[in-house]
């Protein structure tokens, strides 16, 4: 019997080609390693778990809406507060939009150091500092 936790997460996208640079840069910067790649997707691994990005077979709604039923966002451990800051700065140059900028880095509360981003397709991620 193993330790409870996440084995993997699969995110369905409208187009892996459009998302490859945004997600690839972010996951690489967070310490994930590209494990496999195929025409419609990629798998990235870190810490014994993996994240798969793949083109959805159902493209009736091309834009992700995190406010609809489903997953709101994915939160990643991002290292130190300085590392979160550096990723937030570079993210803006890589197609991600900063969320809650007026409350950065404590939008989640005074003891929670994190940054929130949204990509062009509407997916939201949270980058959490280790010391929170």
Within a domain: 132: yes
Kindly tell me if the per-residue pLDDT of 68 is higher than 70.
Answer: no
Mean pLDDT of the chain: 87
**Residue 33 belongs to domain with CATH number:** 3.10.180.10
Q: How far apart are CA 28 and CA 30, in angstroms?
A: 5
Say what the pLDDT of residue 75 is.
93
The reply to whether 79 and 131 lie within a common domain is yes
pTM metric for this prediction: 0.83
Within a domain: 67: no
Within a domain: 63: no
Say what the pLDDT of residue 116 is.
97
Beta strands in the chain, from DSSP E residues, in sequence order: 8-13, 33-38, 41-46, 49-55, 74-79, 97-99, 114-118, 124-129
The boundaries of the domain holding residue 79 are 72-132
At 3 the three-state DSSP class reads coil
Domain count, the chain: 2
């Amino acid at each position: 019997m193993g330790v409870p936790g996440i084995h993997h997460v699969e995110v369905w996208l409208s187009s892996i080609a459009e998302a490859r640079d945004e997600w690839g840069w972010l996951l690489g910067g967070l310490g994930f390693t590209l494990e496999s790649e195929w025409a419609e997707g990629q798998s990235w691994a870190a810490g014994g778990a993996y994240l798969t990005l793949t083109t959805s077979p159902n493209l009736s709604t091309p834009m992700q809406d995190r406010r609809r039923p489903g997953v709101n966002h994915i939160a990643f451990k991002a290292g130190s507060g300085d590392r979160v800051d550096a990723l937030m700065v570079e993210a803006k140059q890589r197609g991600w939009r900063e969320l809650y900028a007026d409350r950065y880095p404590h939008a989640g509360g005074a003891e929670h150091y994190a940054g929130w981003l949204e990509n062009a397709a509407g997916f939201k991620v949270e980058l959490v500092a280790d010391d929170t």
